[in-house]
A and B are shown apart, each in its own frame.
Chain A
C-alpha cells in the first residue's frame, strides 16, 4: 500500500519550483543557447507539393554561395545511416522507408529533400533558395477516409495505404445487441491538430574524430532515446554518444522521438566533423514535425429501457500521415480497448485501422489515445438525448461504483480498487452546481440565450509498465558537503521534476528540497524519459528507493558516530538527531565527510561513500481518473462560443506538489479547449497545408480561456508513493467536455454536431442547417 515516508514534510506541499529563479530571469539554457567554436548552421529545403517525383536536383549554385560548407541530398546523406528505428517500434513491424531526406520523390508538403550547412542560418536559407529543383506533381492521397481503397500508394514500397487493421469481434456483443431497447449509432470525428511546444525542435551535434564520440545537445523529452537511436543511426556504440540535457521548452509528446531532421544532423555532423546546429522554425514545426488527432470512431451503443449500457461496437480509423514520428503507432487499438472507461459497458467488439496519407506524419500528442474518451463521452451525451435522460443521471446509472471494484473490463483491462470515478463525478457536479445551472439554462433559453453544459468522465492508464517504458533508475549520491545529487533518465520539459523529485528525496532522505539537485541526460541510467504521465510514478519511485537506500546508511553511520541506537535517530532537513534530544545531533555534511574522507571511522564492514542506485519496475498501468464539467454561452448570430466556467475533479492519488498538479491539469485543459474551438491544421484538397503560421494555427490566448477550478479526490495507488500520473489527463477530459457543452447549447436548434472544430463558422453552419 501507499506509504509516504516517515516524515512527509515536503510531499503534499506546493513547494516553489527550484527551476524558476533561472527561468524567470532568462538564464535557462535551451538548445538554441548552445554555441560551440566553429559551429555551423543547418536549414532544410522542403517540398511544396504533397506528392511529386523529383525530376531534377542540382545543388551546385547553393554549394557555390559564400559561407556554405556543404549541401546534402538523399544521394550523399541517406546511405550513411544505419537504422532509423525508434525504440518502441519493433524491428520486424512494417514501416515507411527509412530515409532522412526524400529520395526520388516527396510524400508530403514539408518533406525535406535538401539540407544546407552554412556559417549562419541566414546564409543556409539563402542557399536553399539557390537549389535548382524540379518536381513532377503527382496526385496525392489526402483524404484518410478513402485512403485504404486508393489506387495511389503513399509508400509504394509497402504495397498499400493500410498500416494496421486490427479487428476484435466479440460474439457476446452481437448477442446483447439483439435484445436491446435502443441501439444508437454515431461517427465521431476529431480533426488534425499539433502539439506546438513554444520551443520548436532543435539539436546541436558535435563529432570528435578519433575519439569517435558524438556530443549532443537536444530539445528532447527522452535523452536516452536520443542516445540509443543516435547510436543506431551512426552505427556506433551507445557509450560513444554523450547527450547533454538542458532546459526544454515543452514537447507534449513531440520530443519523445527523433525526427528525420535530427538524424540528418547527426549524420552530417559526423561526415563534416563540424559542430552543427539545427533549430526548427515555426513554419517547419507546424508543417512537418508531427500532427495528431486525425481520426474518427463509429460507435454503436446498446442501451436498455432504463438507460443501462449493454454493449458497444466500435470502428476506429486514423490517419498516420506519411512518416509518423516514432514509427507507425496504433493508438486506435488502445482507444478502442479503453473505450468502456469508467462505466459498466458490457461486451465490446472493435476494429482499429490506421492508414497512410500524403500529409504530415502523426505523432504522440498528450493523451495519444484520448479518442476513447472523446467518442465515449460524446456518445453518452447523445444517448442521453436520444432516450430523454439527463446526461448526469445516465452517467450516475452506469458509472463504476466502489462496490463494483475490482472490475474486469470486457476488453481485457482490469481496474483495482484504487480508482474513484463516481467520487470525481459527484465532486465535479457539486462544484459546478449542476441543478442550479440547469435552472439558469432553462431561464436563459426563454430569453433567447443559449447556455450549455458538458461533462466528461474518464480513467487513464498512466505510467505504463511495458517494454522500454517499464522502468526508470535513480543514482543518488550525497556529496562530501552533504548536498544530494540525483541522476535520472527523465527529461523534464515543464513538469517541474527538479522540484518534485527533490521533494520526494527530501522526505525520504531527511533533507530539504533545495539540498537536492536533479541531473538528467549524460551520466544517468537508462530510462524512457518524460512523457505518458510516467515520471511521478516510475521515476519518482526510483528516486524514493535510491534515497531510502542512502538514508539507511546515513542512519547507521550516524548511530555509530553518535554512539546511539539507529532506532532512536531521526533525519530531517539535513540533521540527524536523537529523537527527543535535539541537542544530540550531527549534520548530513558531517556524515558525508566521514563516509568519504574519514572512512576508517565508519562502522566496521561499512562500505565507504554515500550513494545508492535503484531501478523501479512499474506495474502494467496505474490508473488515474477525473471528471471535467464546463459551461458555455453561444452567440447564435456569430457562432462564437464563450466558456463560462470550467471545473475538474481529479484523482491522481497522493499529490506531490498540488500547485504543479493543478498546473498540469490547466495546461492540458487549455490544449483541449484549443483543439475543439480554435486549432486546426487545415489541408486543402491538393494536400496544401493552410495553417502554416501562428496567424492561422490558433493557439488560445489568456483571453479565450476561463478560470479553472480544481478539486481533488485522493485514493492512493498501489505504487510506493501512492501517486498516479497526471500529465496528460487535462487534454483527455477537456475535448469531450467542451464539445458536449457546445452540443448542449445547440440542442434547442435540434442539431447534432459530430465533428470538431466547433469554430464560429461551424457553429453558424449547424444553426443554419437547422433552419433550412
Chain B
C-alpha cells in the first residue's frame, strides 16, 4: 500500500481537504470524503457516464481520474448545479418536467453532461442531442424523456421561454 497523500480541491464552491492513496479515484474522493454521493458509479470503466462531473468547467468521468490529479481543481457535481435549495437548474427542471428519469441512478451524470453539452451547443438539433448524450447510459427511460428534457432545457437556457 502506498502512502497517503494530502488532497485539496474546490467542490461546489467549498474547499474540500482530505487524503488518500495515489490510486484513490476522484469519484471515490468525491463520494467518500467530499460527501457528494450524487456522484454515482455505474461501471467504473468510463462507459456509463453516471459519475460525470465538471472539472474546471469541463465534463469528465470522475471514475477515470485519480483524486490527486484534481488537486487544486474546481469540481462541480450534480449537487452544485442548482442555485439554491428551492430552485432547480433548468436541466434538472426539464428532467422532472419531461420524465427524463425513472430509477434516478444515471440521472446525476446525465444532468451534468447535458448541462455541459448545452453550454457548448445551445441550439442542438434532435440528432445532435441524441449523439451528444450518447456518452451516458440509461436503462429505464429509453431516452425519450431525456431527449425531450434536453430540448426543453436548451430553450430555457437560451432564454427562449
- Whether both chains belong to one complex is answered with yes
Give the B-binding residues of A (Cβ under 8 A).
Answer: 14, 16-17, 19-21, 23-30, 32-33, 35, 66-67, 122-123, 126, 196-200, 247-250, 252, 279, 281-282, 493-496, 659-660, 662-664, 666-671, 693-695, 699, 701-703, 705, 707-708, 730
Q: Which residues of B contact A666 (CB under 8 A)?
A: 141-145
Sampled A-B contacts (18; CB under 8 Å): A14-B99, A16-B96, A19-B104, A24-B101, A25-B79, A26-B77, A26-B78, A198-B105, A199-B40, A249-B103, A249-B104, A662-B144, A663-B140, A667-B139, A693-B43, A701-B135, A703-B130, A730-B142
**Nearest opposing residue in chain B for A22, CB measure:** B104
Q: Which residues of B contact A17 (CB under 8 A)?
A: 96, 99
| Nearest CB on A from B140, distance (A) | 5
Q: Which residues of B contact A196 (CB under 8 A)?
A: 139
B31, B39, B95, B101: residue with the most chain A Cβ atoms closer than 10 Å: B101
- Give chain B interface residues in 27-83, CB to chain A under 8 Å: 31-32, 36-45, 47-48, 50, 77-79, 81-82
Q: Which residues of A contact B36 (CB under 8 A)?
A: 26
User: What's the Cα separation between A701 and B96 when bound, in Å?
Assistant: 20
A24, A29, A699, A705: residue with the most chain B Cβ atoms closer than 10 Å: A24
User: What's the Cα separation between A197 and B102 when bound, in Å?
Assistant: 11
- Give chain B interface residues in 94-123, CB to chain A under 8 Å: 95-97, 99, 101-108, 111
Given A663-B99, A702-B146: A123 touches B39 (CB 8 Å cut-off) = no
Q: Which 8 pairs of residues, A with B, have the shortest CB-CB distance?
A: A26-B38, A249-B105, A23-B104, A666-B142, A494-B103, A494-B102, A670-B142, A694-B47
User: What's the Cα separation between A32 and B137 when bound, in Å?
Assistant: 19
Interchain CB contact (< 8 A) of B88 among A21, A35, A667, A707: A21
- A199 close to B142 (CB less than 8 A): no
User: What's the Cα separation between A199 and B140 when bound, in Å?
Assistant: 11
User: What's the Cα separation between A703 and B124 when bound, in Å?
Assistant: 14
- A20 close to B95 (CB less than 8 A): yes
User: What's the Cα separation between A662 and B141 when bound, in Å?
Assistant: 9
| Known A249-B103, A252-B139, A707-B144; 16 more pairs at CB < 8 Å | A19-B104, A24-B92, A24-B101, A25-B81, A26-B77, A26-B108, A27-B79, A28-B38, A30-B105, A67-B1, A198-B42, A198-B139, A249-B104, A495-B102, A670-B141, A707-B126
- A250 close to B96 (CB less than 8 A): no
Interchain CB contact (< 8 A) of B42 among A26, A28, A282, A671: A282
B158 at the interface (CB under 8 A from A): no
**Nearest opposing residue in chain B for A24, CB measure:** B92
- A24 close to B42 (CB less than 8 A): no
Q: Which residues of A contact B126 (CB under 8 A)?
A: 707
User: What's the Cα separation between A29 and B23 when bound, in Å?
Assistant: 26
- A282 close to B44 (CB less than 8 A): yes
**Nearest opposing residue in chain A for B109, CB measure:** A198
SS class, residues of chain B in contact with chain A = loop
> Chain B, interface size: which category?
35 or more
Q: Which residues of A contact B130 (CB under 8 A)?
A: 701-703
- A701 close to B139 (CB less than 8 A): no
User: What's the Cα separation between A202 and B145 when bound, in Å?
Assistant: 27
- B142 close to A247 (CB less than 8 A): no
Q: Which residues of A contact B137 (CB under 8 A)?
A: 198, 694, 699, 701
- A703 close to B131 (CB less than 8 A): yes
- A667 close to B40 (CB less than 8 A): no
Give the A-binding residues of B (Cβ under 8 A).
Answer: 1, 21, 23-24, 31-32, 36-45, 47-48, 50, 77-79, 81-82, 88, 92, 95-97, 99, 101-108, 111, 126, 129-131, 133-147
User: What's the Cα separation between A93 and B139 when bound, in Å?
Assistant: 34
User: What's the Cα separation between A693 and B96 when bound, in Å?
Assistant: 30
| Nearest CB on B from A90, distance (A) | 31
| Nearest CB on B from A63, distance (A) | 16
User: What's the Cα separation between A662 and B142 when bound, in Å?
Assistant: 10
Given A496-B102, A663-B99, A695-B45: A703 touches B1 (CB 8 Å cut-off) = no
Given A24-B96, A26-B79: A702 touches B88 (CB 8 Å cut-off) = no
- A24 close to B41 (CB less than 8 A): no
Q: Which residues of A contact B44 (CB under 8 A)?
A: 281-282
**Nearest opposing residue in chain A for B95, CB measure:** A24
Q: Which residues of A contact B129 (CB under 8 A)?
A: 702
User: What's the Cα separation between A126 and B24 when bound, in Å?
Assistant: 14
Q: Which residues of B contact A703 (CB under 8 A)?
A: 130-131, 134
B99, B111, B140: residue with the most chain A Cβ atoms closer than 10 Å: B140
User: What's the Cα separation between A663 and B140 when bound, in Å?
Assistant: 8
User: What's the Cα separation between A330 and B82 when bound, in Å?
Assistant: 49
User: What's the Cα separation between A196 and B138 when bound, in Å?
Assistant: 10
- A695 close to B37 (CB less than 8 A): no
- A693 close to B47 (CB less than 8 A): yes
B42, B50, B88, B133: residue with the most chain A Cβ atoms closer than 10 Å: B42
Interchain CB contact (< 8 A) of B105 among A250, A282, A496: A250
Given A249-B105, A282-B42: A702 touches B23 (CB 8 Å cut-off) = no
Q: Which residues of B contact A699 (CB under 8 A)?
A: 137, 139
User: What's the Cα separation between A684 and B70 when bound, in Å?
Assistant: 41
- A694 close to B96 (CB less than 8 A): no
| Nearest CB on B from A68, distance (A) | 11
**Nearest opposing residue in chain B for A126, CB measure:** B1
| Nearest CB on B from A434, distance (A) | 23
- B134 close to A701 (CB less than 8 A): yes
Interchain CB contact (< 8 A) of A694 among B43, B81, B101: B43
| Nearest CB on A from B112, distance (A) | 9
- B92 close to A25 (CB less than 8 A): yes
User: What's the Cα separation between A209 and B77 when bound, in Å?
Assistant: 39
- A693 close to B45 (CB less than 8 A): yes
Q: Which residues of A contact B99 (CB under 8 A)?
A: 14, 17, 659-660, 662-663
Q: Which residues of A contact B42 (CB under 8 A)?
A: 198-200, 249, 282
A23, A281, A667, A695: residue with the most chain B Cβ atoms closer than 10 Å: A23
- B105 close to A199 (CB less than 8 A): yes
- A671 close to B107 (CB less than 8 A): no
| Nearest CB on B from A673, distance (A) | 8
- B47 close to A695 (CB less than 8 A): yes
Q: Which residues of B contact A671 (CB under 8 A)?
A: 139, 142
User: What's the Cα separation between A705 and B130 when bound, in Å?
Assistant: 9
**Nearest opposing residue in chain B for A669, CB measure:** B142
A17, A66, A197, A667: residue with the most chain B Cβ atoms closer than 10 Å: A667
| Nearest CB on A from B148, distance (A) | 9
User: What's the Cα separation between A19 and B126 when bound, in Å?
Assistant: 27
**Nearest opposing residue in chain B for A666, CB measure:** B142
Interchain CB contact (< 8 A) of B106 among A33, A198, A282, A708: A198
Q: Which residues of B contact A21 (CB under 8 A)?
A: 88, 96
- B141 close to A667 (CB less than 8 A): yes
**Nearest opposing residue in chain B for A707, CB measure:** B144
| Nearest CB on B from A749, distance (A) | 29
| Nearest CB on B from A533, distance (A) | 15
A16, A123, A250, A730: residue with the most chain B Cβ atoms closer than 10 Å: A250
User: What's the Cα separation between A662 and B143 when bound, in Å?
Assistant: 12
| Nearest CB on B from A378, distance (A) | 22
Q: Which residues of B contact A123 (CB under 8 A)?
A: 1
Q: Which residues of B contact A199 (CB under 8 A)?
A: 40, 42, 103, 105
User: What's the Cα separation between A664 and B139 when bound, in Å?
Assistant: 11
| Nearest CB on A from B52, distance (A) | 11
Q: Which residues of B contact A29 (CB under 8 A)?
A: 37
Q: Which residues of A contact B144 (CB under 8 A)?
A: 662-663, 666, 707-708
User: What's the Cα separation between A699 and B92 when bound, in Å?
Assistant: 24
